[in-house]
Amino acid sequence: MVQWLSDNAWWLAAASTVMLLGGIGVSFALAILMPADHFMRPGPRTDLARRHPALRILARAAKNLVGLVMLIAGIVMAVPMVPGPGLLFMLLGLSMMDVPGKRAVARYIVSRPLVLRPLNALRARLNRPPIQLPHDPGQTRRRK
């Protein structure tokens, strides 16, 4: 195994580079294409709910399966010495899956200044409106 890895190091480096650049590209595309009011909405879009029940079930199952595959791939990529953006794939996989509380967690992560400022700066450079977040009085309490 060690011999194979040393003989194919160029291939592993190329795969790692492609996966890293692809992950960054997907992240930028999602950040740019996300509607500004995405976090203001009470829940997921209802376009899927208007379809035939069989199509709706099939689409949800496919979306959850793709999310699970991305989550597993992210876990594998997070192992040391395995190339790729593991954390990014784990977050994308979780965001695709129907898990309770995922919107609240995503809203919390995006509301942090270290995430929100660069995200809105990127959107401003590309003439996109800034991300809108609902006002949460619990977050504005003064520290003692």
- Both tokens of 85, joined, read 């953006």
| CA angle 76–82–103, rounded 5-degree value | 40
Residue 54 is predicted with a pLDDT of 82
What confidence score (pLDDT) does residue 4 get? 66
Q: Flag whether the pTM goes above 0.85.
A: no
Query: What secondary structure letter does DSSP report for 135?
Result: -
The DSSP string of 16-78 is HHHHHHHHHHHHHHHHHHS-TTTTTSSSS-STGGGS-HHHHHHHHHHHHHHHHHHHHHHHHHT
Q: In the structure, what pLDDT confidence band is assigned to residue 142 with cuts at 50, 70 and 90?
A: very low
Q: What is the pLDDT of residue 57?
A: 85
Instruction: Say yes or no to pLDDT of 65 above 90.
Output: yes
The domain spans of the chain are 12-29+46-97, 100-133
Report the distance separating Cα 61 and Cα 58, nearest Å.
5
Report whether pLDDT(124) > 90: yes
Confidence band of 49 (pLDDT split at 50, 70, 90): low
CA distances from 4 to 14, 74, 79, 107 (A): 16, 24, 19, 44
pLDDT of residue 72 exceeding 50, the answer is: yes
pLDDT of residue 47: 62
pLDDT at 136 (0 to 100): 55
Please tell me whether residue 107 adopts helix, strand or coil conformation: helix
pLDDT at 53: 80
